[in-house]
Structure formats: C-alpha cells, structure tokens
Amino acid sequence: MCYTVLTMLLFTLITDAEKDLVSASIPRIAQGDEAALVAVYHAVGGRLLSVAMGITRDIHLAEDAVSESFIKLVRSAGQFRGGNGYAWLCTIVRNTALNILKSRNLRREADIDGFFSLSGGLDFTKGSETAVMVEDALKKLSKEERLCIWLKYFNDFTVRQIAAESGISKSSVQDLIKKAEKKLKEYLE
C-alpha cells in the first residue's frame, strides 16, 4: 500500500458534492464572497480540524492551525488554479500545522489511538462505511505498526525521522511499515 492509496481512502470520506462545493467556492472567496467562505467552513471544517489535530496532537494548536489556514485561504484563493479544492485546502492546513509545531519547537507525546477517528465526529452519508473499515483496519495493527503508519502517512515523516521519534532502528521501522501496509491491504480488500 502506498501513500496515494491511503490518501485516496481518506479522501473518500468527503462526498463529490462537498468536493465540488469547496472547489467552486474558492474562486468566489477570491472575489470576497463571505458566504462561500462560511459554506466551505461548514462543509469541511471538522475534517480539516482532524488533519491539524493529527499533526499537532493538541486541540488548541489544531484550532489555531485551522483558523490560520482559513486566513491563508482568503489571502491566497486567487492563486487556486482549479482541481480538487479540498486537497488544496488540506495541504494548506497540513503545512500551517507543521509550521506551528516548528515555530513553537514542540513535540507532543500522546496516545495515537485517539487520532485514528477519521470521521472527526461528523456524520457522513457517503463514505462512512469506508471510514469505519479504515478505522477498524488500523485498530488491528500492533501499537508499533500504528505508530509507524501514523508518523509516515499522517505526519509525513521519513523512515529516519520515525526511527528517531520512536527509538526503533531504521530497519525495524521499515519492516514494521511493510508488515502494516500488507495487513492494511488484506483488511481493506
């Protein structure tokens, strides 16, 4: 399983209508349409908070990241060139959350199991079965496997960074990731 497959599974949690809403709203936001900004926030704000929470591991920092991201959205909406607006917005949130961590030089220790709730507390009409399947598959992994998958796919760590963060050797990290990816693939097929 590669990064794009896991990312695609996560992006199935948003409906096509919501993707279209976000993508269509960004040009309107660039023109100063506040209603479009509110619509985007209501459509995907909770999911964006989950993205930020996965990186910061702190609700207050995650809220800051989402708030700053919406400010950046307003300022840079004119640079959006079409395509998947939700993915573009997720990238802004991810980068903002990482910048917050870097600027505060924080490394939070937390139980990662609580952050695998892909639904972010929202009730999805489409994609909820996929979210449940992914959450269940992640729960079947060992704690070390979940940590490695979490750091690699959700925090975009390299194998070297995962080894340094977890205290596990690089070769063991690589083995854990391969085993975890194989298990996830089997569980999700």
Band (31; pLDDT cuts 50, 70, 90): very high
Virtual torsion, Cα 24, 156, 5, 187, nearest 10 deg: -130
Angle between helices 3-11 and 128-139 (to 10 degrees): 130
Q: Where are the alpha helices (DSSP H) in the chain?
A: 3-11, 16-30, 34-56, 59-76, 85-104, 128-139, 143-149, 159-166, 170-188
Q: Is the pTM of this model over 0.95?
A: no
Contacts of 28 (CB under 8 A, 6+ apart): 36
Instruction: Tell me the two tokens of residue 6.
Output: 């896991």
Q: Is it the case that residue 106 has pLDDT exceeding 80?
A: no
Q: Is it the case that residue 38 has pLDDT exceeding 50?
A: yes
Half-sphere exposure for 9 (CA within 13 Å, toward CB): 22
Locate tokens 């490394």: which residue? 107
Band (119; pLDDT cuts 50, 70, 90): very low
Q: Given this structure, which CATH class describes domain 3-129?
A: mainly alpha
